Amino acid sequence: MTAPTVPPAPELPARPKPPVSTAAAGVVLLALAVAGAWSVGAVGIDVATLARSVDNAVSFIGRMFPLDFPSLGETVELIVETLSIVFLATLLSVILSVPLSLAAASATSRGRFSRGTARTLIVLARALPDLVLAIVFLRMFGLGAMGGILAMGIHSVGMVAKLYADAIEELDDGPREAVESTGGTRRQQIWTAVPQRLMPQIIATALHRFDINLRTSVLLGYVGVGGLGLAIADSLRVLDYQRGMALALIVLVLCIVIEMISGAVRAALMRSAGGKVTGGTWADRMFNRNRTTGGGDLRLTPPWTRERARRFGSVALIVAFTVFALWWVDISLGQFLRGLLNLPETLALFFPPSADGMLPLLLEELLVTVQIALAATFIGAVLAIPIGVFAARNVVANRYVQQFFRVVIVVIRGIPELILAIIFVVISGLGGVAGTLALSLGAVGLLSKLIADSLEETDINVQESIRTAGATGPQIFFAATLRQAAPAFVAHTMYLLDTNIRSATLLGVVGAGGIGFQLLNASRINQFDVVTMILILMVAVVLLVEALSMWLRRVVR
């Protein structure tokens, strides 16, 4: 009798190999990290450099105090002028972005050609630096507010219209299709289905862009746009650090106040009906004219309730702000039309582009700009990750620790990078070190906030299921929270690199290294064809980084 044959043990399935695209993304991310670490040394940041800067910092503080604040009346005038310019620029970006986003979104556009055209205009507006636009518009309209308003407004379309278009595409298309099925025209479909549900996003994005434009206005002061930025530039050109830093402190306080107000308003707007506020926000009902009363009657015109009065008051307040801002900065239609007549003459100065024999120098300075951006992103990421983790409410249980790091983030975000660059130029001298340190601190403020928000947006149910299995806090964080937020971390870091390349270019105007100094110098001596060549080089690098960023976000999603 033969022994029964024992079947062979089943082979364990081999561990699936990661997709080629995922492995390639990992290699690219590792290469970017190595390039960032190498760039830190390439721009000249080391222990010896930082040690030498300590004495300069002490000397700078001694020259800065006592702060020389302008009179109360002059301070109020500068603040009002700055806020008026920023408000009008943000309003212009919203007005231009709404129709552009409707044309760019697949749910509301008429065809592929219109979508492609709208998307191209959005990318182009984002790729053109507001500083370059300001140089062009100041040449057309002269020194003053109009050039800055147009520059910031058109550049802001690149972000605002993109976010609006993305929000439209994420909306449920059912209401629009319902109107279409009843024979409604295209305009009726859009007006009925889109504005009511999109209004919170429109307002929240506008507030966020207002915050960004407030910081940008300081930079544009260096090319002649009025307000606090121009006053700071005038003070620092004559080395009046007491007045310049006093004005910078005013900007800091103003940025922090605006950040806190806009953050609170955005949070209130985005609260759903199932949250603390029932029935949605006032923005949810701004365009909802079909209201049902308590008795069940459908009324085409709602009664004058407290809610309707609040909505009407909000719209009236925006109109009043617009009229006041236009009056304060003294903008007229005649000035605008006269500037448009100068458009052909102005464009002729910028074309054809020419390097004027400086192409090797421009490429070298462009490389320095990229190195500054890589180094700042690397340093900022290393510092921002722990700050963002400690600021996340679902990671750190101690409320005081969370609030402390949230305050740190708000304070850092409130300091315009241009002010940081000016301080570091005085402390560490002209060159890439100042630009890198300024952008690194700015990166900490932006990236740590994004990291904290991404951690708080992770699925709590996954974390709770691991906790019930007996996992410790660190195990929950690394196994559930961090793994969910990792794709967002990659996206935020690439967005930061993209932002830092643009910012490194602009900070060069104050001597913080890179191609920005060549840009400002060419504009001052009327070499506008060189300005166009520098712009072409900048846009090429920006589009390359943006394409890489889009690919990485798609792969790691």
The single-letter code of the amino acid at 416 is: P
What residues contact residue 236 under an 8 Å CB cut-off, 6+ apart?
244, 422
State the average pLDDT for the chain: 76
CB atoms within 10 A of CB 121: 17
Instruction: Reply yes or no on whether the pLDDT at 293 is more than 80.
Output: no
pLDDT at site 76: 92
CB atoms within 10 A of CB 17: 8
Instruction: Lowest mean pLDDT of 104-118, 158-172, 229-243, 291-305, name the range.
Output: 291-305
Report, as an integer, the average pLDDT of 291-306.
Answer: 53
Q: Report the percent of the chain where pLDDT is more than 70.
A: 76
Query: What six digits make up the tokens of 233?
Result: 């530039």
pLDDT in tens, 471-526: 666 656 666 666 666 677 777 787 788 888 878 877 777 777 778 888 878 887 88
pLDDT at site 282: 39
The single-letter code of the amino acid at 162 is: K
Alpha helices in 238-300 (DSSP H): 241-269
Place of tokens 């700042």: 376
pLDDT at site 472: 61
In three-state secondary structure terms, 418 is helix
More confident residue, 459 or 229: 229
Q: Are 150 and 133 in contact (CB under 8 A)?
A: yes
Q: Report the percent of the chain where pLDDT is more than 90.
A: 4
Query: What six digits make up the tokens of 527?
Result: 């070499």
pLDDT at site 274: 40
Place of tokens 């800065």: 64
pLDDT band at 92 (very low <50, low <70, confident <90, very high): very high
Rounded to whole angstroms, the Cα distance separating 383 from 364 reads 29
pLDDT at site 289: 44
pLDDT in tens, 96-131: 988 888 888 776 776 778 788 888 888 888 777 788
Beta bridge partners of 472: none
Instruction: Reply yes or no on whether the pLDDT at 300 is more than 70.
Output: no
Q: b/e string for 72-93 if b means 16 or more Cβ within 10 A? A: eeebeebbebbbbbbbbbbbbb
Instruction: Reply yes or no on whether the pLDDT at 67 is more than 60.
Output: yes
pLDDT at site 83: 92
Beta bridge partners of 261: none
**If residue 417 lies in a helix (H) or strand (E), which one and from where to where?**
helix 417-428
Nearest to 135 by CA among 541, 553, 534: 534
More confident residue, 256 or 285: 256
Q: Which sequence spans correspond to the domains of the chain?
A: 22-65+354-557
Report, as an integer, the average pLDDT of 201-208.
Answer: 79
Place of tokens 């195990």: 475
Longest dimension (CA), the chain: 111
Q: Are 243 and 235 in contact (CB under 8 A)?
A: yes
Phi, psi of 71 (to 5 degrees): -65, 160
Rounded to whole angstroms, the Cα distance separating 525 from 529 reads 11
Q: Are 508 and 516 in contact (CB under 8 A)?
A: yes
Report, as an integer, the average pLDDT of 361-382.
Answer: 88
Report in angstroms the alpha-carbon separations of 350 from 9, 142, 346, 520: 76, 17, 7, 14
Instruction: Reply yes or no on whether the pLDDT at 275 is more than 70.
Output: no
Q: Are 432 and 371 in contact (CB under 8 A)?
A: yes
pLDDT in tens, 3-12: 555 455 444 4
* C-alpha R_g of the chain: 26
Instruction: Reply yes or no on whether the pLDDT at 431 is more than 60.
Output: yes
Strands (E) located in 182-323: 291-292, 298-299
Query: What six digits make up the tokens of 121?
Result: 């205009």
Nearest to 209 by CA among 145, 158, 249: 158
Beta bridge partners of 3: none
DSSP code per residue over 435-496 = HHHHHHHHHHHHHHHHHHHHHHTS-HHHHHHHHHTT--HHHHIIIIIHHHHHHHHHHHHHHH
Q: Are 401 and 390 in contact (CB under 8 A)?
A: yes
Query: What six digits make up the tokens of 207?
Result: 């507030």
CATH 1.10.3720.10 fits 22-65+354-557, yes or no: yes
In three-state secondary structure terms, 298 is strand
CA 285 to chain centre: 28
Instruction: Lowest mean pLDDT of 27-41, 312-326, 375-389, 391-405, name the range.
Output: 391-405
CB atoms within 10 A of CB 44: 17
pLDDT at site 298: 44
Beta bridge partners of 291: 299
pLDDT at site 87: 92
Instruction: Reply yes or no on whether the pLDDT at 424 is more than 50.
Output: yes
Rounded to whole angstroms, the Cα distance separating 261 from 256 reads 9
pLDDT at site 84: 92
pLDDT at site 434: 83
Place of tokens 């859009």: 190
Report, as an integer, the average pLDDT of 199-221.
Answer: 81
What residues contact residue 478 under an 8 Å CB cut-off, 6+ apart?
none
More confident residue, 93 or 294: 93
pLDDT at site 463: 61
Query: What six digits make up the tokens of 375?
Result: 């180094």
Q: Are 26 and 419 in contact (CB under 8 A)?
A: no
Query: What six digits make up the tokens of 68?
Result: 């020389």
Report, as an integer, the average pLDDT of 61-73.
Answer: 85
Report, as an integer, the average pLDDT of 173-187.
Answer: 63
More confident residue, 14 or 538: 538
Phi, psi of 299 (to 5 degrees): -115, 130
Rounded to whole angstroms, the Cα distance separating 382 from 451 reads 12
pLDDT band at 277 (very low <50, low <70, confident <90, very high): very low
pLDDT band at 89 (very low <50, low <70, confident <90, very high): very high
